[in-house]
Amino acid sequence: MSMKILVCTENYLMDGLKRATTVVANELANRVEINYYTLADIKPYFDLNAPLIVAKHPIDSGGKSFRGEKPLQKFKQQIRDLATVLAEGDYDVALFTAGLLTSFTPEIKRRVPDVRVITWMHNNADTYLNNYYAQMKKEFCSGLRAADLVVTLTEHDLKGFKQFNAQTIKIHNPLTLKSAGKANLENHVINFTGRIDIQQKGIDLLLELAKDLPDNWMLSIAGGGKPDDMEKFKELIQKHDVADKIIYRGHLNNRELTENYQNSSIFAMTSRWEGLPLVIGEAMSYGLPVVSMYNTGAEEYLANGKYGVLLSNHCLPDFYQAIKPLLDSVEERQKYAKLSLKRARDFELKKITNQWLRLLKGMQRPHKGGQQLAQ
């Protein structure tokens, strides 16, 4: 397929959005011409299998995602720079991730009308509209409406974003960690892997759960966080007197993550909200049974309880009752491990890449030969 795509993010620092974006785009680069584009001049955390273009006038964000007001006024120069790159590079498609770049869409479409814009939503509609981008909601929604296509991750968000753009589809994020063996379901270790974000990830709930675990079970926690969250994390461990129940592993590389999953017997999620959390897919690919409090990402992975244990709430007594059969029985863990492995096949990279290729094929410009840049 002969087409040219510009994959745009605010930066390529470590988080789930950029991890999923680069895994998909690196694979697509084997079949189509890909260039990466970043608004911030910050060294990428991830390996990129295609050239990286840094904005001519980079934003000074300190690595943080922009969630403020008046993005079109604050980033006029960056919008002009991006439009120029798209026109002079004769790109077929611009792939915009998350909120700030989505807000640029109407102006980009005005300046470079022949480019097809895909906006890729990596979190749920409620969180984006009423939390992350509440201050720029008008511009964000205008961007959704102006896009040629909106890509979402779950059935819940397919409905949520379709109210703004009928051309909205669902494509899952793929597994981003290659499975290297199955979990040892004999170890009495519950696994939590994710950012130490007390509110979003429900770390407060997780640590309170640790109080009620049987003496021969431990809770393994992998991931780092911001200083204030890490301080609160330590305070909660002391408050609940669970230091002897916690194995804190910190931030792990891919090899360490593999060992982390292999040496566990259950994966627990207590998040209050998620997009499509990569860690559930990773855990399932290692054959870990999954028990999760309700969030739309877990609902998608577990198919509303078909492939794991999904609560309808964030009630700790209910969560303990849900996880207890797995604590008590290796046979129960083995039953859910088979379901996890079966479901994980739906998120294999090749399968997801082929969905993207079919999508992109339908967006190819029939006649190329330079684009006009409107002022």
CATH 3.40.50.2000 fits 189-347, yes or no: yes
Helix (H, G, I), strand (E, B) or coil at 218: strand
Measured between alpha carbons, how far is residue 263 from residues 84, 191, 244, 258, 310 in Å? Answer: 51, 9, 18, 9, 23
pLDDT at position 365 over 90:
no
Same fold, 4-173+350-361 and 189-347: yes
- Predicted local confidence at residue 179, as pLDDT: 86
Cα torsion 31, 35, 40, 43: sign: positive
User: pLDDT tens-digit profile of 43-99?
Assistant: 999 999 999 999 999 999 888 999 999 999 999 999 999 999 999 999 999 999 999
**Which of 317, 98, 285, 335 lies closest to 205 in space, CA to CA?**
317
pLDDT at position 369 over 80:
no
Token pair of 284 as six digits: 């399932």
Please say whether the beta carbons of 185 and 264 come within 8 A: no
- Predicted local confidence at residue 22, as pLDDT: 98
User: pLDDT tens-digit profile of 131-175?
Assistant: 999 999 999 999 999 999 999 999 999 999 999 999 999 999 999
Average pLDDT taken over every residue of the chain: 96
Q: What is the mean pLDDT of residues 103-108?
A: 98
- Predicted local confidence at residue 62, as pLDDT: 87
CA angle 257, 259, 263 (to 5 degrees): 120
User: pLDDT tens-digit profile of 177-210?
Assistant: 988 889 999 999 999 999 999 999 999 999 999 9
Q: What is the mean pLDDT of residues 219-247?
A: 97
Per-residue pLDDT band at 283 (split at 50, 70, 90): very high
- Predicted local confidence at residue 371, as pLDDT: 65
- Predicted local confidence at residue 180, as pLDDT: 84
Q: Which amino acid is at 189?
A: V
pLDDT at position 2 over 90:
no
Per-residue pLDDT band at 244 (split at 50, 70, 90): very high
pLDDT at position 375 over 70:
no
- Predicted local confidence at residue 364, as pLDDT: 82
Per-residue pLDDT band at 280 (split at 50, 70, 90): very high
Please say whether the beta carbons of 268 and 212 come within 8 A: no
Token pair of 100 as six digits: 């700030």
Helix (H, G, I), strand (E, B) or coil at 157: helix
Token pair of 61 as six digits: 């964000």
- The C-alpha R_g of the chain, in whole angstroms, comes to 21
- Predicted local confidence at residue 326, as pLDDT: 98
Residue 190 parent element (H or E): strand 189-193
Angular region, 192: left φ>0, alpha ψ -120 to 50, beta rest = beta
Alpha helices in 271-328 (DSSP H): 278-285, 296-301, 316-328
Q: What is the mean pLDDT of residues 346-366?
A: 93
pLDDT at position 270 over 80:
yes
**Domain assignments of the chain as residue spans, ordered by start:** 4-173+350-361, 189-347
Alpha helices in the chain (DSSP H): 16-28, 71-74, 76-88, 98-111, 125-127, 137-146, 155-162, 203-211, 227-240, 254-262, 278-285, 296-301, 316-328, 330-344, 349-361
Burial 11-45 (b: 16+ CB within 10 A, else e): bbbebbbbbbbbbbbbbbbeebbbbbbbbbebebe
Please say whether the beta carbons of 258 and 180 come within 8 A: yes
Per-residue pLDDT band at 336 (split at 50, 70, 90): very high
- Predicted local confidence at residue 368, as pLDDT: 65
What does the alpha-carbon distance between residue 263 and residue 114 come to, in Å, rounded to a whole number? 52
The CATH number of the structural domain formed by 4-173+350-361 is: 3.40.50.2000
Helix (H, G, I), strand (E, B) or coil at 370: coil
Q: What is the mean pLDDT of residues 302-323?
A: 97
